[in-house]
Structure 1
């Protein structure tokens, strides 16, 4: 296998033989990442060559995750471990979606993905059930109003009394009270009494999530866009993502090179992605 060399802060290094990508300096990683993104672009997904380039990019750019996670260091050492792990998910998403043709530095592209994943982690773990931000803020205001009125009146305040103190309509106070139920959750292992089956746990009464339901909306949006493609492009999409043929196998069916199929798939996915984003 041919090797590629690049001048870094250390002596000349063959990028195909990096002993420990995690020790590459951020400055060198910026330049070397371009070479490995280029290698990913010309190698078929799932091959050892493609996987090696992807894994190397992940390890070389871990410093971006540590940099982004540093903004949240006040959370404490235990939570920082979770933050770094979540940030790694953002880094991997950025690597899988980055294209050299964007003419933008990978660092500028990756940081929003990493920070966004971390913020999503905070949002999803702070509340047992996700509720709109305005109701999260109203819950805090409601707790303070409840405490003040309980102390002043010596009893639980009514919705009207809370509404007057909080300067909010009564229906919004009720919404905030309902939202408060989502701040804490009960364990699925919590024992409950059932008249028919005796003692059971809460998990016994909760149905499983149908993962396919999450894709229904995407399929509904994609269907008309795929229908508008010409016959050859529809076949390529079907062969690659339904029959799961490799690019080389598709190239054999159409009597063209694997590289040509790779470019066609990239163009088709960009077109469909743009259409999906415009419908959101």
Structure 2
């Protein structure tokens, strides 16, 4: 049979898959990658529910897991689109994001009571950001200096071979027909191409006589810094809410008032307050995920 809302290309039928001990009915999808994002959400719930019941390593478990991966590839493409124009091959970015998607699928549980898209996006974005961190400059350096760094490396190699020693700054400047100051600036800029890992071993004695690493000599990580980006994204979304919605959010999450207390102030039932809060949070979450404009 065909499930309503699924594009014709992604025909859905009820098929029977084996789990090694008995039969487990799973929706059969001829082309999971072509399932529309809206339909993928409901189908994903069905597959996650089955996945939790299946034994890992069985054919049925592999089928459910692979189908979830293919159905949610559009989420990876959506996340990768945020990095379009950075000069890297988008196929590499998408493939990197797929790693995050697979991690999210393996760790997701329906009991979390959150949409899989909300759960998976941080994993996908994390892998993509790690990709850019590992393959690009550690700090921002002007393109002029990036290009000069390459020319400087070639000049140093040429002069070292010719002179049988390391060339001086003046000799490099003469060969490249630039000033000594520009050579020095390019050498300093080259330090920004690679960053040292916080786990990199350092010479000398570390704490308690063990091997020292860079992280031992810097301050602790401030957890609040992770929230800065979220706050910047959330602020304009909060501004778009009505005065009553902002008041409800303030009472619930700033004043930490209960839903019953909020209902008394607003003159409505606790159940109605619960629905209002859920609606507001859903709207804010969609805004942060960039889904409002796509709805």
2:127 aligned with 1:123: no
CA distance in 2, matches of 1:268, 1:62: 22
Tell me whether 185-194 or 84-93 shows the greater mean CA deviation.
84-93
Question: What SS does the aligned partner of 1:212 have?
Answer: helix
What is the count of residue pairs matched by the alignment?
A: 235
Match for residue 151 of structure 2 among 126, 141, 144: 141
Deviations 1:131-172 (A, max 9, x none): 437255443332212111222334333334434544656545
1:22-171, aligned counterparts within 5 Å? 24-25=29-30, 27-31=31-35, 33-37=37-41, 58-61=68-71, 71-72=91-92, 84-86=98-100, 88=102, 95-96=117-118, 120-126=129-135, 129-132=138-141, 134=143, 135-166=145-176, 170-171=180-181
Tell me, yes or no, if the aligned pair for 1:247 and 1:258 is still in contact at 8 Å: yes
CA distance in 2, matches of 1:247, 1:185: 49
- Answer 1 or 2: which has greater helix percent: 1
TM-score under structure 1 length normalisation: 0.52
Tell me, yes or no, if the aligned pair for 2:249 and 2:277 is still in contact at 8 Å: no
TM-score under structure 2 length normalisation: 0.50
CA distance in 2, matches of 1:165, 1:256: 77
Deviations 1:114-136 (A, max 9, x none): 7x876644431236834437255
**How big is the alpha-carbon RMSD for the aligned residues of Structure 1 and Structure 2?**
5.8
Tell me, yes or no, if the aligned pair for 1:240 and 1:246 is still in contact at 8 Å: yes
Shift of 1:212: 0.9
1:192-203, aligned counterparts within 5 Å? 192-193=204-205, 201-203=212-214
Match for residue 206 of structure 1 among 197, 207, 218: 218
Tell me, yes or no, if the aligned pair for 1:90 and 1:117 is still in contact at 8 Å: no
Inter-CA distance 146–235: structure 2 relative to 1 (3 Å threshold): same
CA distance in 1, matches of 2:14, 2:277: 35
CA distance in 2, matches of 1:129, 1:264: 38
Tell me, yes or no, if the aligned pair for 2:172 and 2:183 is still in contact at 8 Å: yes
Off by >6 Å, runs of 4+ in structure 1: 89-94, 196-199, 243-252, 270-274
Question: What SS does the aligned partner of 1:129 have?
Answer: coil
Shift of 1:36: 4.3
Inter-CA distance 224–87: structure 2 relative to 1 (3 Å threshold): closer
Structure 2 residues not aligned, in runs of 5+: 17-23, 51-63, 81-88, 109-114, 291-295
Structure 1 residues not aligned, in runs of 5+: 41-47, 73-79, 99-109, 275-280
Inter-CA distance 175–254: structure 2 relative to 1 (3 Å threshold): farther
